[in-house]
Every structure is written in C-alpha cells, then in structure tokens.
Amino acid sequence: MSGFFSCKTIPDGATAVKPFNIEKYLGKWYEIARLDFKFEKDLNNTTAEYTLNSNGTIKVFNKGYHTIRKKWVDATGKAKLAGDTNTAMLKVSFFGPFYAGYNVIALDPDYKYALVAGASLKYLWLLSRYTEMPEDIKNNYLKIAQGLGYNTQNLIWVKHYE
C-alpha cells in the first residue's frame, strides 16, 4: 500500500488489545490523566461515556468542568471499530467526516482500567471506571507509555470532585 493512501491510526510500536469486547468497554469512564490538547484544555472532572447506536456505531459523550469559565462543557461524537471487531482499534469523530485514532493499548481483564493511545505520541489517556486508579496499574500503564516514547511527565492529572 502506498504511504500516500495510508492513514496511520496508532503510534509505532503500540499494539491494540486483542481480544476485545466492545460491549464490555461501553459505559462511563473517568479520565485519570491525559496529554493536554486544545479540546480538553483547562478541564477537570472529565469523563467519557460510550453507548451503542442502533446503526452499530458508538455514541461518544465527553464532559468536563472548565476551570476558567466555571462551567460544564461537553461534546458528542461517534466512534466505530477501525478493523475487526476483536481488536481495540477505533476511529472517533467529533467533527463530521474527520476521524482520529483511538486505540486501547492496555486493559485489565475486568474492563475497569484502560490505557488509550491516539494516532500519535501527542495523545494519551489513562481511564478508569472510578475517579481513581490503583498505583500498581497506574505505574504499569506509565511504563508501557514510556516504552512507546510518550513523555509521561507532560501528563495532566485530572481532579474529580463534586
């Protein structure tokens, strides 16, 4: 395949989780840490909720509290599996026809904690079904990310509060 037509959706060296069960992944996730970017800048209490649409795509509902504007903000998008249904590679879109890579590269067997990589080393999330993540899992995920070349010192550690 020509490089001109290929669309890289996962960082070099990263591997998406396999086997993967999208139904078990659905639901609410709390963002524990992220590499900051313009759409999440100044947000705390950030969550992502995934639900299945009738057409087989996934509704993505992201929400967070903007610490400067002092108000809740949200964004709704859609996702779809990027390849086979057994691999944790998705494409997510919040802006029409433009999709970005969303790759679950580490996941505990009970689907409680996840490490998610974007298409490049600019995007990384540590997610949990709870507002906290156990230290051993967090340290393991940081080690995996560092091994891929992520600068984990730049992570924003999200605060969750009522």
Please provide the average confidence, as pLDDT, over all residues in the chain.
92
What pLDDT was estimated at residue 5? 38
CB 40 within 8 A of CB 46: yes
pLDDT higher than threshold 80 for residue 162:
no
What pLDDT was estimated at residue 95? 80
CB 104 within 8 A of CB 92: no
What pLDDT was estimated at residue 6? 44
- List, for residues 69-89, the tens digit of each pLDDT value: 999 999 999 999 988 889 999
- List, for residues 34-49, the tens digit of each pLDDT value: 998 888 999 999 999 9
Question: What are 17's two structure tokens?
Answer: 């989780």
Count of helix runs (H) and strand runs (E) in the chain? 2, 9
- List, for residues 5-33, the tens digit of each pLDDT value: 345 689 999 999 999 999 999 999 999 99
The domains found in the chain, sorted by start residue, are 22-157 (2.40.128.20)
DSSP of 56-114? S-EEEEEEEEETTTTEEEEEEEEEEESS-TTS-EEEEEEETTEEEEEEEEEE-TTSSEE
